[in-house]
Structure 1
Amino acid sequence: MLVLDAAQTRAALPWDRLVEALGDMFANGCVMPVRHHHGVEVPGEPDATLLLMPAWQPGAYIGVKMVSVFPGNQTRGLPAIYGSYLLSSGKTGELLAIIDGGELTARRTAAASAFAARYLARQDASRLLMVGTGRLSTNLIEAYASVRPIRQVAIWGRDPKKAEATAHELDLQGVEVSVASDLETAAREADIVSCATLSTEPLIRGDWLKSGAHLDLIGAFKPSMRESDDEAVSRANVFVDTREGALSEGGDIVQPLRAGVITEDAIRADLFELARGKHPGRTAPDEITLFKSVGAALEDLAGAVLAFEASRA
């Protein structure tokens, strides 16, 4: 059985191959049951949560991501979230690999946005604004640079010191990296605006988006969370990773739907439809596009299979 730690998982998932693997999985599909949420009692502490996210390709691979969220770990100086991915044979059920769940999740999430950008961002998009300074930010910047000619990256965070630290982590040839002090100014200049935050209030305003801009929304993964305002959703042509997920979990879609700002018909396509050629994506250079991602077990399976096969080879 193969065991991949974070560094080995990262090495097995180069951006070009990972983006292609996600595209193939969305095009071909897999079985993807609803994710499981279980409350776990922790005596004397806040309840923990166990998340199970299964997916499989009949006769090929079975995978399940196990994620535990223990809020009480902050008092112990430990991460609140731990995750592992278990990949088994779809023919025998034999456990084939245990893969670092955090690294797999970060890279497949960024790769999904990069795959969407192939269809939705302008071919000449060169200015990227990264809103957020968490683990995903560097992954997203690198992933976007693998599919578009990014030459300038501005990073904005509520804590400028964290934005500076994120900027120092990047090592991209020919890319100018800076820290944005004013979010509005940076957003108005950007060809691509990518948000990966835990915000519950809109950060990006629709009237800030210039003609031809692409807005990528990743962080607001609950109906109560939001990274964009109603005008952003109204002005843009909206795309999602999966319709089911976006319509039930993504606050940037759920809230304007509930308010009557948009209807479900406003969603032009999801990644299944883009990958299968059922929608062309961007159709005009001045079009504003919006992509909302909440994640899907299909993406984890695609990344895990690639990591396993690449490491075995």
Structure 2
Amino acid sequence: MRIVTGDDIRSVCSWPFAVEALRAGHLMPPADLRDSLVENAGRKMLVRTAWIPGLASGVKAVTIYPDNPSAEPARPSVQGQVLLFDEARGDVVAVLEGVDLTAWKTAGDSALGSSCLSRLDVRTMLMVGAGSMARPLIDAHRTVRPTLDRVLVWNRSQGRAEDLVQSLADDGISAEVVSDLDAAVARADLICSATMSTEPLIRGAALKPGTHVDLVGAYTPSMREADDAVLTRGRLFVDSFATTVGHIGEVMIPMASGVITKADIQGDLHDLVQARAGRGATDEITIFKNGGGAHLDVMIAHAVYLALEGR
């Protein structure tokens, strides 16, 4: 059994590596998935399992402590590990650092969705939220859409937005802090949202034709980042039916009120990667709900393990 640290993961991972690992994984049969979520005083423990026939199986166990980044000393809001099992033999072949793997998996998931759905000529990206996932998401999106040459950043706390913009500027990326979210939405060709919001932030009325909307943050039944108009104006896709429908407020709440039905979801990543679904006209608004899932962790973990083993 191999112990895989964050440094090990970074030694072999890049955004093209992560996106291609996920793309290849979605050419495999769909995973069998099971999740368990326990909550206590605003903190959460999430255990996700996945079995991908012919590839691997795995378990991801993490805690989610939203106040950790503001603690002294600061700690990651998400902490945990991933167990990777050999699919044929059933033994544990690797234990991987979960925080680092989560960043590669989450941002790679959104980037893969964008590579299938966003226009090829997108120029301006709006990042809603300036937490720990914001920079990985920006970098991943810019990898699959190198035409992106300007980043707008909106965050409830302006200080964190300024820090993110400075880090982007230090790397030669044109970026600015914005305070008027509706106005920024109207400017953006690609919008990525990664917040802890339980109330919609992105208003569909402000979207311009052709925009791609990547919704990352909502991961519980009570959480939402986009209002009903976003979902009715655009064509909705998900990374996985199994991890979004019946599990995440972004989809559950508008379904419960009759705004959308399951039939309004145009496809998942298997459909997108295998070209059974995708963007139609250039002026369409496309929406991708990143729901995550242990199958994505398994895909990245398996690729990392093989790369470290020299296979």
- TM-score norm. by structure 1 comes to 0.90
Contact 1:250 1:293 in 2 (8 A): no
The size of the alignment, in residue pairs, is 307
Q: Quick one: structure 1 residues 184 and 58, their matched pair in 2 at CA, closer, same or farther if it must change by over 3 Å?
A: closer
Moved more, 68-77 or 133-142: 68-77
Give the fraction of aligned pairs with identical amino acids, expressed as a percent: 36
Distance (whole Å) between structure 2 residues aligned to residue 295 and residue 283 of structure 1:
25
* Correspondence list, 1:144-293, <5 A: 144-148=141-145, 149-170=147-168, 175-279=173-277, 281-293=278-290
Distance in 2, Cα, partners of 1:159 & 1:83: 27
Q: Indicate conservation of the 8 Å contact 1:241/1:294, yes or no.
A: yes
**Does the 8 Å CA contact 1:257/1:264 hold for their aligned counterparts?**
yes
Distance 1:131 1:94, change over 3 A: same
SS of the residue 2:236 aligns to: strand
Over 3 Å counting, the alpha-carbon distance change for 1:180 and 1:86 in structure 2 is same
Going from structure 1 to structure 2, the CA distance change for 1:207 and 1:145 (only over 3 Å counts) comes to same
Q: CA deviation at 1:95?
A: 2.5
Change (3 A) 1:121 1:97: same
Contiguous gaps of at least 5 residues in structure 1: 41-45
Matching residue within 122, 126, 129 for 1:129: 126
- C-alpha distance after superposition, 1:34-74 (max 9, x if no partner): 1134579xxxxx59754322223446533211223578989
Distance 1:51 1:151, change over 3 A: same
Quote the residue 1:43 is aligned against: none
CA distance in 1 between counterparts of 2:251 and 2:57 reads 31
1:302 pairs with 2:299 = yes
Distance, in Å, in 2 between the alignment partners of 1:50 and 1:196 is 19
Q: Which runs of 5+ in 2 are unaligned?
A: none
> Which 10-residue stretch deviates more, 247-256 or 28-37?
28-37
Deviations 1:247-306 (A, max 9, x none): 112212211111111122111111111122211x11111001111111111100011011
Q: Structure 1 residues 115, 67: closer, same or farther in 2, change over 3 A? A: same
SS of equivalent to 1:248: coil
* Deviation sequence 1:138-190 (CA, Å, 0-9, x none): 11100001111210011110111101112233378663122112211111100
Give the Å deviation of 1:76.
Answer: 8.6
C-alpha contact (below 8 Å) 1:48/1:70 kept by paired residues: yes
CA contact (8 A) 1:10 1:104 kept: no
**Aligned-partner Cα distance in 1 for 2:33–2:52:** 12
Give the distance between the partners of 1:146 and 1:80, measured in 2 at CA: 25
Residues 1:30 and 1:261: Cα distance change in structure 2 (over 3 Å): closer
Distance 2:184 2:131 in 1: 19
CA distance in 1, matches of 2:97, 2:19: 19
Deviation at 1:92, TM superposition (A): 2.8
The 2-side partners of 1:93 and 1:167 are apart by 45
Answer whether contact 1:151 1:174 (CA < 8 A) is retained. no
Change (3 A) 1:172 1:232: farther
CA distance in 2, matches of 1:160, 1:240: 30
Cα separation, 2, equivalents of 1:141 and 1:72: 23
Post-superposition Cα deviations, 1:184-206, rounded to whole Å, max 9, x if no partner, equal 11111000010000011111100
2:166, 2:72 → 1: CA distance? 29
User: Could you tell me which residue of structure 2 aligns to residue 26 of structure 1?
Assistant: 26
Letter of the 1:55 partner, please give it. Answer: A
Q: Is the 8 A contact 2:34 2:50 kept in 1?
A: no
Report the counterpart of residue 101 of structure 1 in structure 2: 98
Whether 2:47 is the aligned partner of 1:52: answer: yes
